[in-house]
Amino acid sequence: MKYIHIIKFLLNHDLTHLKDCWLTELTGGNKLSVYRIVKSYLKTRSLQKKYLFWWRLSNEMYMYGNKKQRNIAKNIQPKLISQFGIDIMFGADIGKNISLVHAFGIAINKNVFIGENLTIHQNVTIGQGRNPVKIVIGDNVFIGAGTIILGGEITIGNNVKIGAGAFINKDIPDNCTVYTKKNNTIIQNNS
């Protein structure tokens, strides 16, 4: 029954953004058709592509669908979290061509706007659960493993590289590389 509502949604809504995303993320920029999307989805072994296919669809249904379609999207979300270990909340506005490298433990709040061509590694947190403040991330941004981005309104510019394990709580201008300096303290135990 849920597939009927998904098909109705696909037939009755403006899918320009969804199609653009599927074109780059699922088919690699080849000509978009229902056949090519289904073929790419069925043939891929990429967990990233499978996750993005379902998250993109359910996010669009949640944002623009009727009550039944929104409920179906809400039912898909916990399954995606359980299966893939990724929690991108509905309402997050993410541009096309996102790359989830080692896609585990990624959490993105709904009050986040992300441009195109994002590369994001594992164990990254962007935004807080109930934070109403918007975080804006530009185009062509690389976010290393274990990065945390939170704490008020934050704008990260275009062409920014964020190193692994960084803690970001303030604006970052365009064309920057950012990392958090860490010092290891080694205490030798005398046995």
* Bridging pattern class, strands 148-149 and 177-178: unpaired
Q: 82 Cβ partners below 8 Å, 6+ apart?
A: none
The predicted pLDDT at position 191 comes to: 62
- Distance, in Å, from the CA atom of 153 to the CA atom of 164, rounded to the nearest integer, reads 22
Q: For residue 79, what are its two tokens?
A: 């399954």
The predicted pLDDT at position 103 comes to: 80
- CATH code: domain 87-180 is 2.160.10.10
- Distance, in Å, from the CA atom of 116 to the CA atom of 96, rounded to the nearest integer, reads 5
- Distance, in Å, from the CA atom of 151 to the CA atom of 118, rounded to the nearest integer, reads 21
The predicted pLDDT at position 63 comes to: 93
The predicted pLDDT at position 1 comes to: 63
The predicted pLDDT at position 181 comes to: 86
The predicted pLDDT at position 183 comes to: 79
* pTM score over 0.75: yes
Residue ranges covered by each domain of the chain: 1-84, 87-180
**Mean per-residue pLDDT pooled into runs of 10, the chain (191 residues):** 84 88 80 75 84 94 94 94 93 93 90 96 86 87 96 93 95 96 81 62
